[in-house]
C-alpha cells in the first residue's frame, strides 16, 4: 500500500518540475530546485525508516539534510540580494553574457 508520505513527496516533485518548466524567473527556479531537494529528503527519510528497527543512525543523516537545505537558502538569498542591488534582470534567458 502506498503511504501518504510517498504521495506527498511525488506531488512536491511534480510541483517543482512544473515550476522549472513553466517559469523563467531565477527565484522561482531556485525555489523549485529547493522543493525537489525537500521531496528527495522526504523520500530518503521515508525509505530509511521503512526497515523493521530504525535506530539512532538516522539523526546524522537528517541533520546533514537540514544543513544542506539551510546552505541552499542562504545562497539563494545572497544571490537575490546581490542581483537586486546590481539591477540585474531575474529572467534566466537574460542572465547569460555569452549569448550570440
- Phi, psi values for residue 25, rounded to 5°: -80, 135
Domains defined for the chain, CATH in brackets: 4-88 (1.10.287)
Residue with the three cell numbers 518540475: 17
The more confidently predicted of residues 81 and 26 is 81
List of residues 6+ apart from 72 with CB closer than 8 A: 33, 34, 37
Dist CA 18 CA 32 (whole Å): 8
Give how far Cα 91 sits from Cα of 22, 52, 84, 94, Å. 12, 48, 12, 6
The overall pTM is greater than 0.75: no
Instruction: For residue range 3-60, list pLDDT tens digits in order.
Output: 888 899 999 999 999 988 887 777 788 888 888 888 888 887 787 777 656 566 667 7
Bridge partners, residue 33, by sequence: none
Amino acid at each position: 500500500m502506498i503511504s501518504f508520505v510517498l504521495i506527498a513527496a511525488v506531488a512536491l516533485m511534480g510541483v517543482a518540475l512544473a515550476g522549472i518548466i513553466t517559469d523563467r524567473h531565477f527565484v522561482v527556479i531556485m525555489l523549485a530546485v529547493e522543493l525537489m531537494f525537500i521531496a528527495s529528503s522526504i523520500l530518503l527519510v521515508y525509505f530509511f525508516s521503512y526497515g523493521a528497527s530504525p535506530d539512532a543512525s538516522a539523526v546524522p543523516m537528517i541533520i546533514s539534510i537540514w544543513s544542506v537545505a539551510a546552505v541552499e537558502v542562504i545562497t539563494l538569498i545572497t544571490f537575490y540580494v546581490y542581483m537586486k542591488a546590481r539591477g540585474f534582470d531575474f529572467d534566466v534567458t537574460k542572465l547569460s553574457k555569452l549569448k550570440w
